[in-house]
Structure 1
Amino acid sequence: MTSEALSNLSHEDRRFPPPEDLAASANVKADAYDAATADFEGFWAEQADRLDWGQKWDRVLNWDDPPFAKWFEGGTINASVNCVDRHVQAGNGDKVAIHWVGEPEDDSRDITYAQLQDEVNKAANALTSLGVTKGDRVAIYLPMIPECVFTMLACARLGAPHTVVFGGFSADALASRVEDCGAKVVVTSDGGYRRGAPSALKPAVDDAVAKLADGEHAVEHVLVVRRTGQDVAWNDDVDVWWHDVVDDQSTEHEPEMHDAEHPLYVMYTSGTTGKPKGILHTTGGYLVGTSYTHWAVFDLKPDTDVYWCTADVGWVTGHSYMVYGPLANGATQVMYEGTPDSPHKGRWWEIIEKYGVTIFYTAPTAIRTFMKWGREIPDKFDLSSVRVLGSVGEPINPEAYVWYRDTIGAGKTPVVDTWWQTETGQILISPLPGVTEAKPGSAMTPLPGIDADVVNDEGESVPDGSGGYLILRKPWPAMLRTIWGDDERYKDTYWSRWPNVYFAGDGAKKDEDGDIWVLGRVDDVMNVSGHRLSTTEIESALVSHPKVAEAAVVGASDEMTGQAPCAFVILRETAVEEADEPGEGADLVQELRNHVAKEIGAIAKPRQILIVPELPKTRSGKIMRRLLRDVAENREIGDVTTLADSSVMNLIQSGMSGSSDE
């Protein structure tokens, strides 16, 4: 086994074929793969025909100056028209677009497509009255309330690129993003609800606006939604209330068709340090890629399905699979403001039961949390409406996948484990629910029209049964076009390793069948005695133990082996009491170490295992392994500002002295 390729040690024998009835009526069948391979551009032209265009394109793909792509060159389109107006014109104005559910119980709104059109048009007219014109940037710093969707679509209607900043980010993080893209207007609210209590938002905007007041990127207006009724500081020179500026606007707005390559939004990637990295997505290709993959991967039947993506709109999943993809497809969907455990741990399942949700898309970190709480909570609710389950955000552990399928999907619902990124805009690798014989933990194969591969250091395709780097050989419609204001950084970050090949830093393996298993960031690979081991595989081995709900593994420096695996483990609630009994903690640690050795091999056996109450996560649910490496190597803890709860690190550090070290 060479040190160049990722070691491919774990093995999965379980297979789940598609349900026969779903396969028979699936939107996309097996022949789509061959069709896309035979005529790549023709395939994407066919998907583009699912949308309404002002002027049809002259050329499907211009790849004359890689890595700068132009899709549907010469075409004109308006994303807002495709997400709203065309459904009303087709006679579906009375159809519910969004079942909005607030965190406080009994706080909900059903918004039809006709009502959505009125609200988007009023917001577009209001932004125009505040001086926003085509090409101006608008920053959005809102909780998960309908006004967030109204504002995004109003910006798209005007051709004013939006940047949505997650409502949990600090004033400094907000200011750096507003400054980088030069936003003229910030749309915010007094606050939102978080775990049963109002949480302020406007003070962070006030601080950010003050930081930028004397520079070239001073904010001209702050448009404020009244959500919680909290008292807020007010600056009459800048601040305006939504209800004063938007509510009395006309519900008529004549949309302009924009060039297919007109910027739609800038999304700043999480976890960046120094200068923010603004990912630029444009309009035509992005809408084609997101609407097609939403329809194909989830087998969407817009007349009968109720779809729910739990992602916050501050992340790309919320853009692609809560706003633009579903609404372009005329879907009825759920939008929820709060957390899964407020006011009780069954809130999500209660919502699925109430609205008859048929397609449910969430993150592995949420699934593992539910595993920790126990299946008796979802078992109290009728989840029989669910027919497709999705996973997004990071590789899903096989045991979490099986728990999700069995507990939420009644042991028969297909799970689509999707791989894509902020930069890719759309899902690229995923099972198709009516085609794929799925394997727990595998993203399986690239979707039709996507040319993905796993390669070695020389950029050569690795054989089945080995690992390497996950790359894309051809452009795809929803791909990022550049980093905002920095073409060189775009080329260096994503396209410099191999000529005209996209690489964004993920490792992967091909199994014996050639199916793809994503192994997480290449940064999260350990070199143990010359073997390059994926932290993801060791984490999955730990989670497969019946007492473990979640695990994070890092490689720490080791004099003997170069690096050694160190694990941080959250137990299922049923196992916590046992670990607290005298002598039991050490026994359980040894049991877990031996379990990993049995599942993967002795080479992967963790040097240390620390049982912890929580893991350090960003607000989007990603585990911050960098901080865990600091703990494992006894270094001073690095920057914790992007953590959802910075106190977690204090708990972990205080427990480190009691960990196993053999």
Structure 2
Amino acid sequence: MDETEIAWRPSEMMRQDANWSHFIRHCGLEDYAALAAQASAEPEWYWRALADWLGFRFRRAPDQMLDLGPGLHHPGWCLGGTTNLVDTAVLATSERTPDRDAIIWEGEGGEERRLTYAALEQEARALATGLQGLGLGAGDVVGFYLPMLPDTAVAFMACAWIGCITLPLFSGFGADAVAQRLAHSGARAVITTDATRRRGQTVTMKPVVDTALRDNADVRHVVVLRQHGAAVPMQAPRDVFWHELTAAAGAAPPIRELPAEHPILLMYTSGTTGLPKGTVHTHAGLGIKISQDVRLTLDLKPGDRMLWPTDFGWFGGTVTILGCLLAGATLVIPEGAPTFPDPGRMWRLIERHRITQFGTAPTLARMLRREAEALLDRHDLSSLRAIPSSGEAWDRETWLWVMRRIGGGRVPILNFSGGTEMCAIVASNILFPQKPGSFNGPVPGTGGDIVGPDGASLPPGEIGELVMREACIGTTRGLWRDEQRYLDSYWGQIPNLWVQGDLASRDAEGFWYLHGRSDDTMKIAGKRIGPTEIEEAMLLAGGVTEVAAVGVPDAVTGQAVVCVVVAAPGQPADAAQGRALADAVATAMGRAFRPKRVIFVPDLPKTRSMKVMRRVVRAALTGLSAGDLSSLVNPEVVQELARHAAADGNSDR
């Protein structure tokens, strides 16, 4: 191991107290390597041992945890078992520590709401009673057009209580995106709110649902939460206010015992082409895998407090809400944007609520960094134990800044790669040292690997596809109403390997690294390269806070690099600066990778979870279709990019 590259290492006390260590001792094994080896050799043993250590509550224990007879595409899980995720996510903590906060919500104006585990159980029971009174039950899809609220967790658990399937919808969607997903899912009901606040503005949400349902005959009920008191139209008998529904409810139904593989979540994920894909997750699959991810890979413990800006419309919302509940922890939810009403909001929340896990992503970290230096020293961040990170590849400079300035050099950055379709594949954990931007290899039970086009493992230094070789309990059970697309999307590229679409590599010491999405890969003059290296070279040059590098057609080299950048405050955004940045990339990477153009924009296209959508950048610059754009939080950026694409050579830097 190159000791000069190690940026963080765990203390012996931290290693011994890590949840991974407790689980390894529970299994009677010597170390992490032994656990990983036995998980691959005996997957039936592993998933049963994991469910047991996690305290996952089956009503009837499965006769068999895993049946590979049907093949890796559709393995059988938890055969003969019954459960309801509410038992583990709510009752387990409500029974032990009923007064512990499950959710703390803070509005943009500083107002605060707290929901204890006992109150969560009580409110979920009341809403479940009301929903059942509307005729909803097992297998019915219920759309959630809600921001992150304590009530969102209540509604999620209420639907699970009676066996309904939750369909999260991004709270920033327009009517067309909502309509598309409701129609495709066959949803029977929608839960929404009168309004939400975004950057000081009250934004109504119920009218969006009304527009989305104009041509929908399947949705029979709309439940409306009175959140901000905004006047909204109500259409009887379809529409009912949440508080009226629960007040009129009769006797509460018992928590419904369901087959362990009963669906609980229908989550759509955008694709580069075609309609969004509806991934399907089950009570046991979602519960056990998210528990593994947050309790083991993120080391979340009972009583911990997590802050991670996200939206329930993305899988990050499910992970944070359900993950905290399954761990007996507390989720702190900030309304609106991370930097509103002021850029010090996140640091203030960490200090005030004694946050132990602060979730971020490289793009969010770069955004926070713009104005953080003068603010960080004013706040006590000593409560932090871990900084989870997901979604993108890190650049070295930003990773080191997060490690040193937010974590004080003592807090690990728990970098993991996953997706809506399968939770996490690989993750850092607090048992091993870290290099900047690295992972520590595959999570047991996934068979994570880095392979070439033929499916063979690649040697150190080579970039390949990040795959799973083994059946993982968190993987989607298919795509909603589209079996062939499921097989083509994830199993059709390399036989018998799950291909997620992420590029990765490992070094000679065994550290793993992400390099972006495989559909973001560029081939310049025959040389294959991911965007991260080019972006990192430009960020290191200084003067910019964000970069998106994409490949565009070129008559000479096949593809040429174009970089779309956001200038740092007070820095120039002119032709001279563009040339300087391009020269910096050429110096670092070689002249073959010198950007043909450097385009300055006020922002990059991002999802609510702060992922930069390079395919949108590439499509806007080339005039091609970008696929589904409903996940964008700043669609106006697309027009800005298109304007540059239409411009003449004056855009060249």
TM-score category (smaller protein) = over 0.9
Contact 1:308 1:333 in 2 (8 A): yes
Aligned to 1:486: 482
- Separation of aligned partners in 2, 1:13 and 1:590: 31
Aligned to 1:234: 234
Contact 2:493 2:499 in 1 (8 A): yes
Aligned to 2:468: 472
Q: Which amino acid aligns with 2:236?
A: D
1:258-269 equivalences under 5 Å are 258-269=258-269
Contact 2:343 2:372 in 1 (8 A): no
CA 1:76–1:591 in 2, change beyond 3 Å: closer, same or farther?
A: same
Contact 1:174 1:205 in 2 (8 A): yes
Q: Which amino acid aligns with 1:170?
A: G
Contact 2:546 2:565 in 1 (8 A): yes
Contact 1:372 1:571 in 2 (8 A): no
- Separation of aligned partners in 1, 2:290 and 2:626: 39
Q: What is the CA distance between 1:631 and its match in structure 2?
A: 4.7
- Separation of aligned partners in 1, 2:421 and 2:627: 26
1:51-200 equivalences under 5 Å are 51-66=56-71, 67-89=73-95, 91-105=96-110, 107-200=111-204
Q: Which amino acid aligns with 1:157?
A: W
CA 1:112–1:553 in 2, change beyond 3 Å: closer, same or farther?
A: same
- DSSP 3-state at the match of 1:280: strand
CA 1:132–1:641 in 2, change beyond 3 Å: closer, same or farther?
A: closer
Q: Could you list the per-position Cα deviations for residues 574-633 of structure 1 after superposition, in whole angstroms to 9, with x for gaps in the alignment?
A: x42xx15xxxx3343233223223333333221221222211223333323233224544
Aligned to 1:319: 318
Q: Which amino acid aligns with 2:603?
A: E
- Separation of aligned partners in 2, 1:272 and 1:113: 40
Which of 13, 38, 48 in structure 1 is aligned with 2:51? 48
Q: Could you list the per-position Cα deviations for residues 435-478 of structure 1 after superposition, in whole angstroms to 9, with x for gaps in the alignment?
A: 12112222331122221111111111111111111111001111
Aligned to 2:601: 612
Contact 1:37 1:449 in 2 (8 A): no
Q: Which amino acid aligns with 1:309?
A: W
Contact 2:70 2:76 in 1 (8 A): no
Q: What is the CA distance between 1:311 and its match in structure 2?
A: 1.8
Q: Could you list the per-position Cα deviations for residues 278-324 of structure 1 after superposition, in whole angstroms to 9, with x for gaps in the alignment?
A: 00111112211111221112222314x2222222111111112x122
- Separation of aligned partners in 2, 1:598 and 1:120: 59
CA 1:360–1:160 in 2, change beyond 3 Å: closer, same or farther?
A: same
1:257 aligns with 2:253: no
Q: Which amino acid aligns with 2:60?
A: Q
- Separation of aligned partners in 1, 2:210 and 2:183: 14
| Matched length | 634
Q: What is the CA distance between 1:502 and its match in structure 2?
A: 0.5
Contact 2:67 2:76 in 1 (8 A): yes
Q: Which moved more, 1:36-45 or 1:327-336?
A: 36-45
Q: What is the CA distance between 1:544 and its match in structure 2?
A: 2.7
Q: Which amino acid aligns with 1:281?
A: H
1:553 aligns with 2:549: yes
CA 1:306–1:658 in 2, change beyond 3 Å: closer, same or farther?
A: farther
Q: What is the CA distance between 1:479 and its match in structure 2?
A: 0.8
Q: Could you list the per-position Cα deviations for residues 529-580 of structure 1 after superposition, in whole angstroms to 9, with x for gaps in the alignment?
A: 111110122112222333221100010111221111110111222x42xx15
- Separation of aligned partners in 1, 2:121 and 2:629: 41
1:502 aligns with 2:494: no
CA 1:631–1:204 in 2, change beyond 3 Å: closer, same or farther?
A: closer
CA 1:530–1:409 in 2, change beyond 3 Å: closer, same or farther?
A: same
CA 1:544–1:252 in 2, change beyond 3 Å: closer, same or farther?
A: farther
Q: Which amino acid aligns with 2:113?
A: R
Contact 1:452 1:470 in 2 (8 A): yes
- Separation of aligned partners in 2, 1:41 and 1:539: 43
CA 1:141–1:611 in 2, change beyond 3 Å: closer, same or farther?
A: same
- Separation of aligned partners in 1, 2:57 and 2:382: 35
1:275 aligns with 2:264: no
Contact 1:266 1:279 in 2 (8 A): yes
CA 1:659–1:378 in 2, change beyond 3 Å: closer, same or farther?
A: farther
Q: Could you list the per-position Cα deviations for residues 252-288 of structure 1 after superposition, in whole angstroms to 9, with x for gaps in the alignment?
A: 5411221111111100003565433100111112211
Which of 15, 20, 23 in structure 2 is aligned with 1:28? 20
TM-score by length of 2: 0.92
Aligned to 1:462: 458
Q: Could you list the per-position Cα deviations for residues 484-527 of structure 1 after superposition, in whole angstroms to 9, with x for gaps in the alignment?
A: 11222211111122332111222222222233222222111111
Contact 2:311 2:608 in 1 (8 A): no
Q: Which amino acid aligns with 2:371?
A: W
Contact 1:144 1:312 in 2 (8 A): yes
1:292 aligns with 2:292: yes
CA 1:638–1:474 in 2, change beyond 3 Å: closer, same or farther?
A: closer
Aligned to 2:27: none
Aligned to 1:409: 407
Report 1 or 2 for greater relative contact order, CA contacts < 8 Å, sequence distance ≥ 6. 1
Aligned to 1:649: 638
Q: Which amino acid aligns with 1:212?
A: N
Q: What is the CA distance between 1:429 and its match in structure 2?
A: 0.8
Q: What is the CA distance between 1:653 and its match in structure 2?
A: 4.7
* Structure 1 stretches lacking a partner, 5+ long: 1-11
- DSSP 3-state at the match of 1:65: coil
- DSSP 3-state at the match of 2:499: coil
- Separation of aligned partners in 2, 1:34 and 1:261: 29
Q: Which moved more, 1:403-412 or 1:647-656?
A: 647-656
Contact 2:206 2:232 in 1 (8 A): yes
RMSD after superposition = 2.2
1:319-338 equivalences under 5 Å are 319-320=318-319, 322-338=320-336
CA 1:298–1:250 in 2, change beyond 3 Å: closer, same or farther?
A: farther
CA 1:14–1:86 in 2, change beyond 3 Å: closer, same or farther?
A: closer
1:470-619 equivalences under 5 Å are 470-573=466-569, 575-576=570-571, 579=572, 585-619=574-608
Aligned to 1:9: none
Contact 2:6 2:433 in 1 (8 A): no
Aligned to 1:398: 396
CA 1:630–1:487 in 2, change beyond 3 Å: closer, same or farther?
A: closer
Q: What is the CA distance between 1:250 and its match in structure 2?
A: 6.2
CA 1:98–1:653 in 2, change beyond 3 Å: closer, same or farther?
A: same
